[in-house]
Amino acid sequence: MPALRGVKMQKLAEICVRRPVFATMLILSITVVGLFSFRSLGVDLFPKIDLPTITITVVNPGASPQEIETEITDKVEGAVNTISGIDELRSTSVEGVSQVFVNFVLEKNADVAASEVRNKVDLIVNQLPETAEVPIVQKLDTDATPVLRIAVSAPRSLREVTDIADKGIKRLIESIDGVGNVEIVGGRLREVEVWVDPDKMRAFNVTAADVANAVKLQNMELPGGRIESGQREFTVRTMGRVPDPAQFNNIVVASRGAYAVKLSDIGYVEDGAEEQRTEARLNGQPAVTLVVSKQSGQNTVAVADAVKERLAELTPNLPHDVKTQIVGDQTIFIKAALHSINLHLIEGSILAAIVVFVFLWNFRATFIASIAIPTSIVATFGLMAAMGFTLNQITMLALTLMVGIVIDDAVVVLENIFRFIEEKGMPPFQAAIEGTREIGMAVTATTLSLLAVFLPVGFMAGIVGRFMSSFGFTSSFAIAVSLIVSFTLTPMLAARMIKRKHAPAAKGPGPEISTSPEGQKRSSLAEFKDKYIQAQSKESRFYRPIDRTYTWMLRWSMHHRWAIVLLSVLVILSTVPLFMRVWRNALPLMFESCPASPTRW
């Protein structure tokens, strides 16, 4: 099968040499697809990892941890424990909150797992305490992470700042495409508080439940039916809402004989703010922080830039004493990391081209070999877009690593063509065909061996496989494109750009061509001189020492084979202790500054 594939690739090379338009359009087609796909690629720090982990949260205010465990946690665990594919089931029961974490095997589809858990939890909702809130079933989404933290401060009360941040900023940011959630941290929303005196309640024989029920029943709007008048119909609504907090004092809590006990008789109502459960500070002063999270699968940089643009539009409309400041920006680290990788990618491409030029010492040959780098890298963007990959540290690492690999096939093919022209004196057109045909099998075998190394990485299982799958596929596609380039564009350009070097013509009139044996000897001598001049690149001052040193090392190695074998075995065995001494970690250690750190109680 590889032999047949090699013959086909060699035939493709011959067609491309004879049909340059076909070769040009073939490479241009995949390059153009890559260029347009590059615009649609998302930018993130790491690849999207979809872990099948489901969280079930049930809130029961005021319940003790023991009551939470027996009345809620045990029932939820018993319901979801019958689902197939569970790898780990754990729970936490604290005051007022029950959380159950269901970890499935990696082969389980996260959406299917969430649906099965939700169906099981719905079956036990009626068995939970009446005071418990509706269970919340959430899928762990590592991609829906916070991208920005916006601090809002002003010389006002925290309640006023929270109201401005909520109505003037949060609601307008939430409508941006790609924004999944905006959470307020450190704020205090408006709350109408009812303060009661226990002694007065005892005097009127009123309980706290009576007060709560009275406030609830006398502060609501109910539908009152409809009224028909001829051909007209009117909707009736009972206006029961209390518009002014001060009017809560007139609510009747209980009746004691002919006297109606009002709320003002046992306490008072205050238009205040809710109890502060989170805190955020800016330069030591209380502030309100808006934590903006993106939707799963969205471009982190694009979402953050859109939020910044909207924030710049909103700032002039806010009160003059209200200040907004971005105190946490995830995209700064992402842009810096990708910029560093892009710089390495460009530097690697330039250095690879310089190395090729140093050995070939020919600008045209260097250009032909170096053109394989941008064509292979740009064409790879098409596969990345088709498979839903993003530009992150893993995929960019693959592209950077491939810079030195994708040029190998083109260099091998080009060097063999160059050798046919210099040593055998063939015309460039014929040398491109014959040189590619001779080296075609070796180049194909080399590329297939590289694919055998990188392609299985794309099918790795486990958490590591989720991270490295994009690395394997990106690398494999770049290598495959480099093989196509080396058999199409490289020989086609070599046949038309590389020129033969001829021996300098002798001064004076040239000798007459003679068919005598003596004349044939002169012709053979002239041909030998021409071929010698063609091969003069191998006798350059730079290459000659390298060639002689390598020849000496090769001869020494052949005469001391057991020493080379023993050295190779020692190197292989040394990998075991060296591997044991290397630190192991899931991800490399990185420092990412994060000035905003909200505190929760």
Residues 57, 114 contacting (CB under 8 angstroms):
no
Per-residue pLDDT, 510: 44
Angle separating helix axes 330-360 and 363-370, nearest 10 degrees: 140
* Other beta carbons within 10 Å of 279: 16
- Residue at 398 is within a domain: yes
pLDDT at 596 over 60: no
Cβ-proximal residues to 420 (8 Å cutoff; 6+ apart), any chain? 426, 430, 431, 434, 435
Least confident of 147-156, 304-313, 511-520: 511-520
Stated pTM of the model: 0.69
Do 304 and 166 belong to one domain? yes
**457 and 401 share one domain:** yes
How large is the C-alpha radius of gyration of the chain?
38
Task: Give me the chain's average pLDDT, please.
Answer: 81
The per-residue DSSP string of 521-582 comes to HHHHHHHHHHHHHHGGGGGSTTHHHHHHHHHHHHHHHHH-HHHHHHHHHHHHHHHHHHHHHS
How many domains, in total, are found in the chain?
4
Asked if residues 211 and 196 have their Cβ atoms less than 8 Å apart, the reply is yes
Tokens 């140093």 belong to residue = 358
Segment 464-493 mean pLDDT: 87
CA–CA distances in Å: residue 12 to residues 45, 306, 439, 491, 547: 40, 48, 14, 10, 33
Q: Is the pLDDT of residue 364 over 70?
A: yes
Please say if the pLDDT value at position 598 is more than 50. no
Q: pLDDT at position 572, please? A: 92
- Classify residue 509: in a domain, yes or no: no
The helix (H) or strand (E) run that includes residue 366 is helix 363-370
Residue 88 pLDDT > 80: yes
The whole domain housing 414 covers 2-46+347-504+527-559
Do 115 and 258 belong to one domain? no
Verify that 118 and 253 share a domain, yes or no.
Answer: no
At 178, the amino acid letter reads: G
The band of 534, judged by pLDDT with boundaries at 50, 70 and 90, is very low
Shared domain check, 10 and 27: yes
What per-residue confidence (pLDDT) applies to 7?
Answer: 56
Spatial neighbors of 339 by CB under 8 A, at least 6 apart, are none
Q: Cα(282)–Cα(260) distance, rounded to whole angstroms?
A: 50
Beta carbons within 8 Å of 7's beta carbon, 6+ residues apart: 440
Task: Find where tokens 């518009």 sit.
Answer: 243
pLDDT above 70 for 41: yes
Helices (H), 194-296: 198-203, 208-217, 263-266
258 and 159 share one domain: no
Q: Look at residues 442, 537, 539, 526 and name the one whose alpha carbon lies nearest to residue 483.
A: 442
Query: Do 428 and 492 have their domain in common?
Result: yes
pLDDT of residue 256: 82
What integer pLDDT is reported at residue 221 of this predicted model?
A: 76
Statement: residue 514 has pLDDT above 80 = no
More confidently predicted of 514 and 549: 549
Residue 152's domain is classified under what CATH number?
3.30.70.1320
Domain boundary among 117, 139, 161: 139
Residue 10 lies in a domain: yes
pLDDT level of residue 3 (50, 70, 90 thresholds): very low
What is the average pLDDT across 1-25?
70
pLDDT band at 6 (very low <50, low <70, confident <90, very high): very low
Tell me, what's the pLDDT at 567?
92
Q: Which tokens in the block code for residue 172?
A: 């307008």
DSSP H helical segments within 287-371, as ranges? 300-314, 330-360, 363-370
Average pLDDT over residues 325-339: 82
More confident residue, 291 or 334: 291
Q: pLDDT tens, 108-131? A: 888 888 889 999 998 888 888 888
Residues 108, 247 within the same domain: no
Q: Which of 310, 333, 356 is the last residue of a domain?
A: 333
Is residue 392 located within the same domain as residue 540?
yes
Tell me: do 40 and 98 sit in the same domain: no
Write the pLDDT tens digit of every residue in 254-311.
888 888 888 888 888 888 888 777 888 888 788 888 899 888 777 788 888 889 999 8
Residue 167 falls inside a structural domain: yes
The yes-or-no verdict on residue 441 having pLDDT over 70 is: yes
pLDDT score at 526: 53
CATH code of residue 424: 1.20.1640.10
Looking at per-residue pLDDT, the higher value among 276 and 29 belongs to: 29
For the record, the structure tokens of 446 come out as 């080399």
Query: In this structure, what DSSP letter does residue 181 have?
Result: E
Residue 572 located in a structural domain:
no
Which two tokens mark 400? 């950077």
Beta-bridged to residue 574, according to DSSP, are none
Find out whether 448 and 491 touch, Cβ atoms under 8 Å.
no
Percent of the chain with pLDDT over 90: 5
Q: 8 pLDDT exceeds 70?
A: no
Between CA 497 and CA 476 the distance in angstroms is 30
Task: CATH number of the domain at 256, please.
Answer: 3.30.2090.10
**CATH number where 81 lies:** 3.30.70.1430
**What pLDDT, on the 0 to 100 scale, is given for residue 571?**
92
CA-nearest of 440, 382, 377 to 405 is: 377
Residue 590 lies in a domain: no
Angle between the N-to-C axes of helices 462-497 and 372-386, in degrees from 0 to 180, rounded to the nearest 10: 140
Query: Within this chain, do residues 356 and 412 fall inside the same structural domain, yes or no?
Result: yes
d(CA 460, CA 311): 43
- Would you state the pLDDT for residue 473? 92
Residues 379, 474: contact at Cβ < 8 Å? no
| 318 C-beta neighbours (distance < 10 Å), count | 16
Q: State residue 587's pLDDT score.
A: 61
Let me know how long the chain is.
601
One-character DSSP codes across 76-134: HHHHHTTSTTEEEEEEEEETTEEEEEEEEPTTS-HHHHHHHHHHHHHTTGGGS-TTSPP
Is 582 part of any domain?
Answer: no
Among 234, 253, 273, the domain-final residue is 273
Q: Is residue 591 part of a domain?
A: no
Predicted confidence (pLDDT) at residue 79 exceeds the cutoff of 50: yes
208 and 249 both lie in a single domain: yes
> What's the pLDDT at 570?
93
The residues with which 227 forms a beta bridge, in sequence order, are: 234
The Cα-based distances of 410 to 373, 451, 481, 585 in angstroms read 9, 16, 11, 37
